[in-house]
Amino acid sequence: MLIRPQQKLRDKLFYNNLLLIVVIFSIICFITSLNLQASTSVGRTDYEIREGMTYGPIKIDKQPKIYKIIANFGGSNTSTYLSGEVLDKDKDTLYEFGKDLWHESGYDSEGYWSESERKMTAYLTFKEKGTYYIQFNTEEKNMRNIDITIQLVKGSYVAHSQFGSLFLLIAMIIFFLLNKQWVCEKLAVINEKIEEMSDD
């Protein structure tokens, strides 16, 4: 069967345009994911953490729920480890999460300096039906320096992010297979330029 060059070119343009639509769809999935991730309901904020502070019960019936945890550390020239635990209905630990929070400052030959890692953000996904709790612990000396906000995310961003990643990966593979010669030529040009820069 004879394939005309014009027909082959038209087919390639058609498939490349189709891939462009898939890439645009992937980008929309990522944007939707970011919007859902930022879309939260009014939650609970505790301005002074207490040892063993527990949030709950979180009841999961049919729909999965995602909770956004935001912790802020206000201490000066000190550090602490904030740990969180997800508990089941019997208050047994299912899994843990946490982060080192710290602040350092001082003076040197260039003047005042300050470095810190004051914020922890975590997303907890509850998929299976049941009752859950979230418990927090930290060092006693820093309890007054930590405030925690817990918010319910209004939508599930995970599915959109996964779909976007999957379709983008498929589009990249098909694009490479359709345009292998063009991609190889471009990579060769880039490689030559890198070699020229390294020689200089």
| Spans of all domains in the chain | 1-39+156-179, 41-154
Closest residue by Cα to residue 119 from 87, 144, 146: 146
Q: What is the Cα–Cα distance from 74 to 41, expressed in whole angstroms?
A: 25
Of the ranges 36-40, 76-80, 161-165, the best mean pLDDT one? 76-80
For residue 21, name the pLDDT band (cuts at 50, 70, 90): confident
Q: Residue 104 pLDDT > 90, yes or no?
A: yes
The pLDDT of residue 2: 45
Encode 111-143: b = buried (16+ Cβ within 10 Å), e = exposed: eeeeeeeeebeeebebeeeeebbbbbbbeeebb
Q: Residue 74 pLDDT > 80, yes or no?
A: yes
Q: What is the Cα–Cα distance from 183 to 54, expressed in whole angstroms?
A: 55
Is pLDDT larger for residue 117 or for residue 4? 117
Fold of 41-154: Jelly Rolls (2.60.120)
The pLDDT of residue 42: 56
Q: Residue 56 pLDDT > 90, yes or no?
A: no
